[in-house]
Structure 1
Amino acid sequence: MTTVVPVASKCFHLSLRNPRLFPQRSGRPLLKEKLQHHALGVANLSHTLHRVRTTQESIKNPGQTVDLELSVIDTHPNDKDRPTVVGIHGNPGSSVDFEPLIQQLSEKNIRFVSPTFPGFESSEVEPWKLYHLDYTTSARMSLLEQVLQQRQVNRVSVLMCHSAGSWVGYKMAAESELVNSLCLLNPTCARPHKSVRPQFVIHFVAWLMRQQSLHFALMPLLEKAYAQIGFSGVKAGDHLMVAQQIISNQNFEDTAQHAKQILEKQLPLLFAYALNDKIIEAPVSEDMLFDHLCVPKDSVMAVDTEGNQTPLSTVPSGQDDENRRFAQGLQFARGGHIVHKPHSHIILDRVLKLLAHVEGTHV
């Protein structure tokens, strides 16, 4: 049974606080309150939020099954024949972070499906379950596949990934036959960006966060640390513990291998990043864009603060148009880490071109 809850704002964003730290505000009442509050402000809903029940085997007690209930945005439920964009949110984050693209795609009659992973915001879980979840990229990809199966998504026209959601995205694009193209928005890359260096510190903090008795002391410090590296508005809560576990389980060598597989598959792709991203610095993005995904510089448009677009290079790549793969990039002068919010219309235009390419028709 799937419960449908309307989501009512493109600025909708939840910050669920740890009920042990903030006992007066438990997770679910806060979620309900947020939904009701935003429902008052928007008359025309462009998408709905569904609840999907799934399970995962405990990594702490093998053989034990952990029941999970995830929130999933699905703008056109059960419409299997419609072009479908699947979104994988960042870390921390939620599926609603893809607004306003969700609304804009829906208005173009394109289905958008995106779960919020367990432990984040509208997919909050009981605290004890956090210590049983598998935070590896493989396990998170398996959860995504379960969600897509339940939502009857049998073809992913575009797999759209933001930030650390790209870790799952790279793997799925490389290995799954469901995926027909890839859209990367300020993605994590094949080498660690500045906010996850040095990695031994990340692993140590992740270990500390698994010690439940230390949460009260560590959560406020972690909230400040996230604010300092550029995550504005992030509040203390269990979602920060989840974020640390995901980061510490990431193998950057795997990302490089997945990029190689994506390149071998000649998978159509779009890569967008901002030069003023405080989380992932431009040299790391460009290493991934040019050296691993091998997008030609004459296929990357530099977008200035006025929205003017010029190619990074006017020197042809040497490939003729007939044999040239669909691989494009957008380099924004400004836009920050959530680049699709201020530049949604430019990115939407490129996503529509990507959809037209993989669907073989005008979208």
Structure 2
Amino acid sequence: MTEEALHDKHIAKVFVNAKAEPNLYTLPVTVTTIAGEVVHVLAVFQDTKPEGSAKGTVVTAHGAPGSHKDFKYVYPKLEEQDVRVIGINFPGCGYTEYDERLKNDNHERVQFVQQIIEKLGIDEKLIFIGHSRGSENCLKMAVNNLDICSGFISVNPIGIRAHKGGRPVFFFEFLALLWRLTWLRWFARPLLLFIYQNVAKFKISDPDVCGVAVNLMSGLDYSDAIPFIGRFNDHSKTNVQGVLLYGGNDFLIERSVSKEFFGLFEDSVEVTSPIHGADPNATTEAIAALKAGHKTIGVFCKKDGHFLQKDKADLIVESVLTMLKAN
């Protein structure tokens, strides 16, 4: 497809992959890198209700590695409640095509998501949910869209400094450089696949997705979340709220990083869930805090790990419904 043909269309098109997965669509997206290069990609994303929903829309941002399927325990429950879910798939992560000119940084990711929601015409009752690496994106998208946003939910959020899953930083930078040298990919691919499968214990089979994932980590500027938190705190007169969920047994992000991050948010209340998995009591307490008007709710999931979108799916869904009703 020519560049002109690719970007002449602004309406999402149905996408059918080899597995015939449902609810996948494409949209042309243009990203300008920090080097000034203009990159065109055909974004592949999930849309559970392309006709729209009067109840509201949730946009999800996955981790690294990850995809829209990171939220497979959440979006069916939201569908049952007539909430639309847009599942973002960032370039090179298994669905959306990759372009070697991309730098895989926060600057590009914000543009990528913003264009999708604008082209889909979503202009009210919007909630962003991000997992791990995607938590950075959901915070920024919420702050950049305060006029149409009801809230955001950060699941196992990264902090404002490198967590243990991102250290040592120089190691990730070395691996990223190794993969970027295309003439060395014959060596980098099996090495990265071994690391992600056997050390990090991710269920991943594509070495190039591993390469993009390590670049997403090396291209992460942790501290650039701070001004966005400040802007979120400053808008105390808006009804936009935030929910942060962090685990006591997270093998990638230590509690001290999560607590430090949560501590930057004002008008906050922390809820503790002492049990693994669904916790009706913690859910009730968190929802009560949201209804009381607190701006940010932290949920410390003492017995849970790095995939709280699975372990605390009910709490996430109830938080979404509560924030949508409030706005």
TM-score by length of 2: 0.84
- What is the CA–CA distance in structure 2 between the aligned matches of 1:279 and 1:109, rounded to whole Å? 34
- Find the partner of 1:248 among 218, 227, 230: 218
8 Å CA contact retained: 1:86, 1:158:
yes
| Per-residue CA distance 1:249-292 (angstroms, 9 max, x = gap) | 22122122322222222441111122111111222112112x21
How many residue pairs are counted as aligned between the two chains? 307
8 Å CA contact retained: 2:267, 2:295:
no
- Find the partner of 1:301 among 272, 283, 302: 272
How far has the Cα of 1:137 moved from its partner? 0.8
How far has the Cα of 1:329 moved from its partner? 2.4
- What is the CA–CA distance in structure 2 between the aligned matches of 1:224 and 1:86, rounded to whole Å? 32
2:158 maps to 1:188: yes
How far has the Cα of 1:236 moved from its partner? 3.8
- What is the CA–CA distance in structure 2 between the aligned matches of 1:308 and 1:352, rounded to whole Å? 17
Opposite residue 132 of structure 1, the aligned amino acid is: R
The verdict on how the C-alpha distance between 1:309 and 1:104 changes in structure 2, with shifts beyond 3 A counting, is closer
1:1-363 residue pairs with structure 2 within 5 A? 2-5=12-15, 31-32=17-18, 34-35=19-20, 48-57=23-32, 65-79=38-52, 81-125=54-98, 129=99, 131-177=100-146, 178-266=148-236, 267-289=240-262, 291-294=263-266, 296-297=268-269, 299-305=270-276, 307-308=278-279, 324-357=293-326, 359=327
Identity of aligned residues (%): 24
Opposite residue 238 of structure 1, the aligned amino acid is: D
- What is the CA–CA distance in structure 1 between the aligned matches of 2:277 and 2:101, rounded to whole Å? 48
Opposite residue 168 of structure 2, the aligned amino acid is: P
- What is the CA–CA distance in structure 2 between the aligned matches of 1:226 and 1:53, rounded to whole Å? 30
8 Å CA contact retained: 1:83, 1:111:
yes
The verdict on how the C-alpha distance between 1:58 and 1:347 changes in structure 2, with shifts beyond 3 A counting, is closer
Unmatched 5+ stretches in structure 1: 7-30, 40-46
- What is the CA–CA distance in structure 2 between the aligned matches of 1:284 and 1:57, rounded to whole Å? 31
- What is the CA–CA distance in structure 2 between the aligned matches of 1:231 and 1:256, rounded to whole Å? 30
8 Å CA contact retained: 1:78, 1:151:
no
How far has the Cα of 1:208 moved from its partner? 1.7
The verdict on how the C-alpha distance between 1:356 and 1:95 changes in structure 2, with shifts beyond 3 A counting, is same
Query: 1:16 maps to what in 2?
Result: none
The verdict on how the C-alpha distance between 1:133 and 1:87 changes in structure 2, with shifts beyond 3 A counting, is same
8 Å CA contact retained: 1:229, 1:278:
no
Unmatched 5+ stretches in structure 2: 1-8
TM-score by length of 1: 0.76
Opposite residue 292 of structure 1, the aligned amino acid is: L
